[in-house]
Amino acid sequence: MIFRPGREMAVTAIICLSGEGGAVISAPMTAAVLTVGCRLNQAESDCLRGVLRDRGFRIADEPAGADVVFVNTCTVTGNADRSSMALIRRVCRLTPKPRVVVLGCLAERAGDSLTAIPGVDEVWSNQRKQAEIVDAFPLPVRSRALLKVQDGCDQGCRYCVVSLLRGTPVSLPPEMVQERLERLVAQGVGEVVLTGLNLGKYSAAGIGLAGLIASLLKVPGRFRLRLASLEPDSFDERLFAVIGDQRICPHFHIPLQSGDEKLLAAMGRNYTSAQYARLIERLLAVRPDANIGADVIVGFPGEDSGSFERTKAFLERLPIAYLHVFPYSPRPGTLAVGYGDPVPREVKAERVALLRQFARERRWAYARRFNGTVREAVLEPGGRALTDNYLRLFCPELAGVKCRSRHLVRLRIEVHGEDLLGRQEDL
């Protein structure tokens, strides 16, 4: 299915935000968009900024002094809930107080609770948000542009509330994706990140993710594509073929969640640890320099010491370079919430700490492999740069120097203790 809600759904909240008693707040005004959560949320915030700019609003970096503040929330974990709530309350306490519009997945899940917060003026459902931004060209605020091409998921993971809130998979038409990429490249953006809730589910006009990437690689100009998180079942022969192109960043984030077969089944994941290991082996055969990362959930119901040790041992055998480690957080409405939360908090914390230490060691071991090599990197403000294989560098020669962020350069990597430096080869 392709998402193109009728414009009649996109009521006038952005064109003219209504104040008390239906009074119209007219542009030009200043708007700020604040974001909690994943790349998909960030991509949607960029689209919202684009809509606001096109409708005459000035875009502010900070909420203080803005006339309207949009807070794009997340509810993937309890920590995300708390971060979102804290941000909303902080904005509502600003003096002078802006008009506060709350959107995002927490707004979809707990809209009534958010409406009750003093100072919140509007709460948007996800349907309302998508209707407002569906035709928007993004206004990136980072050195890398996030391009949303897909939303929704029908994977059925038993711990995931976000798929329940965002619905079944939908995809942006390929011609629209290409047009947006062409415009971003024409603006001098060197790296574009393709993102979605389940990017591998991209399907529109008979084209899957591999076909979309192949068509985007025909766009002229100097740019590279990075792929956001990909589920293990996203990979087929066509995708392996296109990711061999050197304009695809050799950086792949593939959620694992557990290395224990019993827990993978309980989570509703549709692969075994052996299948996951073979996928990583195949991926490295195609891109030997790839920086591969994974998500791991710690403390899922039923994770005893043996389960955790099996996961830890599996990770130690895998040639992965980094981890995102999360303590399990029961989410309302999911199947797993019925399992309870039997792993004590302190046990979760101890296991999380162990895996995060392991992840730090792996990250630095990977970085040291590239000491003295030259890699393509995208420039960031403050003398920073990000390489194609996801190494974040500090560039002493560029610190304090006005340079054009978002551009691609070649940098020689130098590892000094726990510092990663980049020396310019060209500009």
Q: Helix (H, G, I), strand (E, B), or coil: what is residue 300?
A: coil
* Model pLDDT, residue 156: 94
Q: Which domains can be identified in the chain, with CATH numbers?
A: 7-132 (3.40.50.360), 142-249 (3.30.750.210), 259-369 (3.30.750.200), 374-424 (no CATH)
Ranges of residues in the chain with a pLDDT under 70 are 1-27, 400-404, 426-427
The answer to pTM > 0.85 is yes
Burial class (CB in 10 A: 0-12, 13-18, 19+), 149: buried
d(CA 256, CA 233): 11
Residue type, position 328, single letter: Y
Burial class (CB in 10 A: 0-12, 13-18, 19+), 282: exposed
Among 189, 196, 159, which Cα is nearest to 43's? Answer: 196
Say which DSSP state 283 is in.
Answer: H
Q: CA geometry: angle at 378 spanning 374 and 382, to 5°?
A: 105
Residues in the chain: 427
Tokens of 120: 């919140």
In this predicted structure, what is the pLDDT of residue 2?
A: 39
Confidence at residue 402, expressed as pLDDT on a 0 to 100 scale: 60
**Tell me: the pLDDT tens digits for 54-65?**
999 999 999 999
Q: How far apart are alpha carbons 353 and 362 in whole angstroms?
A: 14
In whole angstroms, give the CA distance from residue 255 to residue 334.
Answer: 19
- The residues, any chain, with a CB within 8 Å of residue 49's CB and separated by 6 or more, are 31, 33, 59, 138, 139, 141
Spatial CB neighbours of 97, under 8 Å, sequence gap ≥ 6: 119
Buried b (16+ CB within 10 A) or exposed e, 387-408: bbbbbebbbeebeeeebebbbb
